A and B are shown apart, each in its own frame.
Chain A
Amino acid sequence: EDKVVQSPLSLVVHEGDTVTLNCSYEVTNFRSLLWYKQEKKAPTFLFMLTSSGIEKKSGRLSSILDKKELFSILNITATQTGDSAIYLCAVEEGIQGAQKLVFGQGTRLTINP
């Protein structure tokens, strides 16, 4: 059974701290790994990773994929209260023409001022 596991499930830190969110996966026919941020309703896209060892960066957020060890991390530096959200990891898997996105259970991140 395909699965995507995120840790921790919940994290509370102070503004200015750096956090690392983890995502491990076991899927057949891996295609890509994606990170989303969900604040209220629809998740918004952060990163898509397809190659090992290549860091993707956007402002204070960065992410990297390890396809050998089957995991990814999402780093947020100098956190702000606006970073409070559920962070979702998803893996696109499947053969051509039958791809699907499998999500982890999410990490609820709370940034306290």
Chain B
Amino acid sequence: SQTIHQWPATLVQPVGSPLSLECTVEGTSNPNLYWYRQAAGRGLQLLFYSVGIGQISSEVPQNLSASRPQDRQFILSSKKLLLSDSGFYLCAWSQPPILATEAFFGQGTRLTVV
């Protein structure tokens, strides 16, 4: 069966420090991978998605970047965090369809920038 791992679960970082959040998927190959951010009590904002190794699409210009160094690994990074980067970050995967499929989510990372 497929599983998705996302870490860390919580993170407190000072303004100006770097960030690296990692997400890995097991039990599938060539998944679509997504990074979302959720502000308190709000919906999910798509930040990046990837349909293959090294293929990253950015949805919102900002202080963050994403990389996919391996088929089932998706990394969210920042060189210098801003206060506005605080939020709940979710990684998700879906199987590239012939038919559309649901997305499966990691447990999320709550990032607080202080």
Contacts and interface: CB of A to CB of B under 8 A. Distances in A.
Given A86-B41, A108-B41, A42 B108 contact: yes
Contacts of A103: 36, 43-46
Contacts, number: 68
Contact of A100 (B34, B43, B102): B34
Interface in A1-55: 6, 31-32, 34, 41-43, 45, 48, 50
B19 interface: no
Contacts of A90: 44, 103
Given A31-B97, A97-B51, A43 B105 contact: yes
B46 A88 contact: no
Interface size class of B (residues with CB under 8 A): 20 to 34
Contact of A41 (B46, B49, B100, B107): B107
Given A97-B51, A100-B49, A103-B44, A45 B96 contact: no
A111 interface: no
A101 B43 contact: no
A48 B102 contact: yes
A42 B106 contact: yes
B94 interface: yes
Given A31-B97, A100-B49, A100-B57, A45 B43 contact: no
Nearest to B9: A41
A102 B103 contact: no
